[in-house]
């Protein structure tokens, strides 16, 4: 089966600009996650969707970050306006089971590396 | 809150050497524990897991044992290969509700021929 697809793979912007990332999960996976991985740190969950509903967005900086999952399939994550500290790799993941990513059927995409200058 | 602490890298080994990457955790209650691996240019992959004390997870020659008494889940492999070069993440997840994965900072392993 095809893996989780993300685009773009790399993005360089200046602070205060806007940026959007796209994720296409594995077909049939109901749960979709966005993680932020800052250099030297482990991934941190930003938002979790179950179909097109939000399950957990407690660590999403809602003043500048937004995410949506249209029709319970693809998802976009937006940052507006970007800050220097948003430089990170943004990982999308999806899973089919109730145990989520803590299960061999949970998969991560390759990530989008964002550099904010 | 819940957290995971990993040894800092990089860990540099020669092929066929023995590998240990230390991981300890802090949690209220008894979490499930995981090791993920990230090969260059690829996404994170679940390597192995253990869901209760004294369980041993294993995969691809890697092993880790859930030690409640020392709150540890150290990753080991008897003989590493160049292809094992990657970043390894230890993680935990509580076993109730929609509990998120909490990751350590990752340990880079470099294996030379």
The tens digit of pLDDT for each residue in A17-59 reads 999 999 999 988 888 999 999 988 889 999 999 888 998 899 9
Question: Which of chain B's residues have a Cβ under 8 Å away from the Cβ of A101?
Answer: 46, 101
Chain A nearest-CA distance from B69, in A, is: 23
B49 close to A (CB below 8 A): yes
CA B37 from centroid of its chain's CA atoms: 8
B30 close to A (CB below 8 A): no
A38 close to B (CB below 8 A): no
User: Least CB-CB distance to A48: which of B41, B42, B98?
Assistant: B98
Statement: residue B29 has pLDDT above 90? no
Question: Which of chain A's residues have a Cβ under 8 Å away from the Cβ of B32?
Answer: 102
Statement: residue A2 has pLDDT above 90? no
B71 Ramachandran zone, left/alpha/beta (phi>0; psi -120 to 50): left
Q: For the residues B78-99, what does the mean pLDDT come to? A: 88
Least CA distance to A49: which residue of chain B? B98
Contacts of B39 (CB under 8 A, 6+ apart): B45, B85, B86
- What value does the CA radius of gyration of chain B take, rounded to a whole number of Å? 14
User: Least CB-CB distance to B103: which of A43, A48, A55?
Assistant: A43
User: Least CB-CB distance to B43: which of A48, A104, A108?
Assistant: A108
Chain A nearest-CA distance from B86, in A, is: 14
Residue A7's pLDDT band, with cuts at 50, 70 and 90, is: very high
Q: Do B89 and A104 touch (CB under 8 A)?
A: no
Closest to A22 (Cα-Cα) out of A3, A43, A8: A8
Angstrom distance (rounded) from CA A68 to CA A59: 15
pLDDT for res B111: 97
Angstrom distance (rounded) from CA A95 to CA A29: 5
Lowest mean pLDDT among A47-61, A89-103, B42-56, B95-109: A89-103
Residue B92's pLDDT band, with cuts at 50, 70 and 90, is: very high
Chain A nearest-CA distance from B46, in A, is: 6
Phi (first) and psi of residue A71, to 5 degrees: 55, 20
Could you tell me which residue, B72 or A2, shows the higher pLDDT? B72
Chain A nearest-CA distance from B52, in A, is: 14
* Average pLDDT of chain A, as a whole number: 90
Could you tell me which residue, A70 or A31, shows the higher pLDDT? A31
Interface of A with B in 8-37 (CB under 8 A): none
Closest to B55 (Cα-Cα) out of B47, B63, B45, B44: B63
Residue A67's pLDDT band, with cuts at 50, 70 and 90, is: very high
A5 near A107, Cβ under 8 Å?
A: no
Place of tokens 């540890």: B72
Angstrom distance (rounded) from CA B38 to CA A108: 10
Please, which contacts does B39-42 make with residues 24 or more away whose CB atoms are closer than 8 Å? B39/B85, B39/B86, B40/B85, B40/B86, B41/A110, B42/A110
pLDDT for res B104: 94
Angstrom distance (rounded) from CA B36 to CA A75: 24
* Average pLDDT of chain B, as a whole number: 92
Statement: residue B28 has pLDDT above 90? no
């Amino acid at each position: 089966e095809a893996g989780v697809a993300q685009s773009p793979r790399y993005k360089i912007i200046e602070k205060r600009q806007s940026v959007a990332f796209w994720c296409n999960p594995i077909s049939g996976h109901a749960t979709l996650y966005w993680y932020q991985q800052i250099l030297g740190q482990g991934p941190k969950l930003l938002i979790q969707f179950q179909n097109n509903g939000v399950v957990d967005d407690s660590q999403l900086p809602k003043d500048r970050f937004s995410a949506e999952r249209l029709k319970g399939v693809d998802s976009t994550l937006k940052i507006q306006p970007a800050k220097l500290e948003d430089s990170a790799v943004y990982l999308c993941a999806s899973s089919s089971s109730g145990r989520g990513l803590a299960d061999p059927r949970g998969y991560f995409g390759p990530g989008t590396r964002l550099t904010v200058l | 809150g819940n957290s995971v602490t990993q040894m800092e890298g990089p860990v540099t080994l020669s092929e066929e050497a023995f590998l240990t990457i230390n991981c300890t955790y802090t949690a209220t209650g008894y979490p499930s524990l995981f090791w993920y691996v990230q090969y260059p240019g690829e996404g994170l992959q679940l390597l192995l897991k253990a869901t209760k004390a004294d369980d041993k997870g294993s995969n691809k020659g890697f092993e880790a044992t859930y030690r409640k008494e020392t709150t540890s889940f150290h990753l080991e492999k008897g003989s590493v290969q160049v292809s094992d070069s990657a970043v390894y993440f230890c993680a935990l997840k509580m076993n109730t509700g929609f509990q998120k994965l909490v990751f350590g900072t990752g340990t880079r392993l470099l294996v030379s021929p």
